[in-house]
Each structure stands twice: as structure tokens, then as C-alpha cells.
Amino acid sequence: SRTHTGLREILDGESESNILFIAWISQVESIDDTLEARQFFKSWSEKVLQHKPKSILIISAHWDTEFPTVNTVLRNSTIYYFNGFPDPMYELKYEAPGAIELGKKVKDLLMGAGGMKRVDEDTERGLDHGAWVPLMLTYPDADIPVCQLSVQSSQTGTYHYSMGKALAPLKEEGVLIIGSGSATHNLKKLDFSIPNGSPVPWALEFDHWLRDSLLQGRYGDVNEWEEKAPNAKMAHPWPEHLYPLHVAMGAAGDDAKAEQIHTSWQLGTVSYSSYSFTSSL
């Protein structure tokens, strides 16, 4: 149920990428050691990115706004807006430094090269669990400045791909760009009777289509996923968990090479397929 296609190249130092899409679903990843995805995130500094980034721009599916918005804070707070989870979840903190200069540069790039008429700054908002759960596992010291960028679920994949293209200069400045969402995301179809690692057919078909499209460089098809992908609306009834992928693709560029760095399954319908993107020199 788990592969690391292309991971050997990263381990050998041939093509370490600074643009990634990571898939997650549950806040419980932060405390449940039985999840394969948790182990993947914990092995990050050894197996995925051996070089510490200067700063991190993370695009989380859980910040959905009408207009693109960046948080520009001195220090990130840890946002809890979920109920019914184990008590230890609410004791976790990830108070990484803010990245105000990065946030302002993101705004300038989106309004300049991106041609956007409005990009907002939020001077109070910290990190939601789409950001702090994976970052807590990948960079537990919380010593890397982090800026978060919102998605716009009312827009399209192509719109978010264009956002990413505008942000491409950041990859030359030591900024790690992370799209944080889910390869599949339909909470109404979770099946607690299915053992982890056993996907249902419709979810597997969508996941394989997404994998093949990315590895073959068919980014145009991924931008038009609602028309091109099998079981598109079943896999993503709402698009916000896929849009961070489009931003990452755009930032990497049309000629970028995608590699699948992890895949595992939970509850029958939850794919943790994650990808790196390496631009051609």
C-alpha cells in the first residue's frame, strides 16, 4: 500500500526539490504512530528534504477566502477549530516564527506577475491544522519562518495554477513551497470497516489518474480535473483540498518533473499520495 517512486533520486541528492504537494486528512496524524503517513512525515529530513529551507510558504486547504490572503505575523499561533478529538490534540503547539517579508513578497508577486487586483494581508491569523500538523512532524523544532497562503474554492484549478506560476521566483530564494491538501477528500464516504491500506475502487481509480497525469507531465489535464478525471466529484465534492496541488504545479513550471514520494491509504477512501516537483535546469 506504500511506494516511494522517485524517492531514491532525492535520497541520492540528484534532484532535491523545493516544491511539494503533501496529502493529509486527519488531525490525529499528529499523535497516532500507527499511520503510515505520520511515519513518512517524520522521516522528512532524512528521506525527502535534507537541506533546511530558509523559509516556508504553505498553501493549506483549510484557509479558504474570497481573495488571496497571506498571514503576516511576528509569530504564528496554533489554531484549533475542530471538536471531538483526544485531549492531547489541544495541548499541541506549533509557534513557528512568522515570515512577514515573505508574505509581502507573495502579495507583490501575485499582484505583479499574477495580475491579481486584490491580495489581502491578515496580521492576526496563525496556522490552521492543514499547516501545523504536517509541519510539526516534518520540522518539529518550529524554528523556520512560515507564511500561509489561502485558496479560493470559488475559483478553478487553472486559476490556482496561475497563482503558482507567479510565485515561481521564490524557489530560487531558498523558500520551500508546500501545497497541503488531499489527493482524495470525501468525508461522507469514509469507511471505518475497511482496513488501512485497502482503497475502494472509485478512489483508487481517481488516485491512479492523478498520479499518471502528474508523472507524465499532463498538468493541463490536472487543471481541468473536473472534466478529465474519473470519479472527480466523488473524490472531491468540493475542490479546496486539491487546489494546493495546482499552486505547487504552477510554481514548479510547465516543464517540471513530478515524483511520487509517498502513497498510503486510510478508511478506504483517503489517499495520502504526495509529490515533489523538480524544475528543469
62-114, pLDDT tens digit by residue?
A: 999 999 999 999 999 998 765 555 565 656 889 999 999 999 999 999 999 99
* Mean pLDDT, residues 213-223: 97
| Inside any domain, residue 156 | yes
Q: Considering its fold, how many domains does the chain have in total?
A: 1
Q: What is the model's pLDDT at position 29?
A: 46
Tell me if 94 is assigned to some domain: yes
Parallel, antiparallel or unpaired: strands 55-64 and 146-151: parallel
Q: What domain range includes position 227?
A: 19-279
Residue 11 maps to a domain: no
pLDDT at 274 over 50: yes
Residue 12 has pLDDT above 90, yes or no: no
The C-alpha cell of 4 is what? 516511494
Indicate whether 7 belongs to any domain: no
Q: With respect to residue 73, please indicate whether it lies within any of the assigned structural domains.
A: yes
174 falls within a domain: yes
Q: What is the 3-state secondary structure (H, E, C) of the chain?
A: CCECCCHHHHHCCCCCCCEEEEECCCHHHHCCCCCHHHHHHHCHHHHCCCCCCCEEEEEEEEEECCCCEEECCCECCECCCCCCCCHHHHHCCCCCEECHHHHHHHHHHHHCCCCCCCCEEECCCCECHHHHHHHHHHCCCCCCCEEEEEECCCCCHHHHHHHHHHCHHHHHCCEEEEEEECCCCCHHHCCCCCCCCCCCHHHHHHHHHHHHHHHCCCHHHHHCHHHHCCCHHHHCCCCCCCHHHHHHHHHHCCCCEEEEEEECEECCCEECCEEEEECCC
Q: With cut-offs at 50, 70 and 90, classify the pLDDT of residue 44.
A: confident
Q: How confident is the model at residue 4 (pLDDT cuts 50, 70, 90)?
A: very low
Q: For residue 28, give Cα distances in angstroms to 33, 51, 272.
A: 9, 27, 14
161: cell is: 495554477
Q: Looking at residues 49-58, what average pLDDT do you find?
A: 91
HSE-up (13 A, CA, CB side) for residue 53: 31
Q: What is the pLDDT of residue 37?
A: 74
> What's the pTM value of the predicted model, to 2 decimals?
0.89
The one-letter amino acid code at 134 reads P
Residue 14 lies in a domain: no
181 is a domain residue: yes
Which CATH number covers residue 160?
3.40.830.10
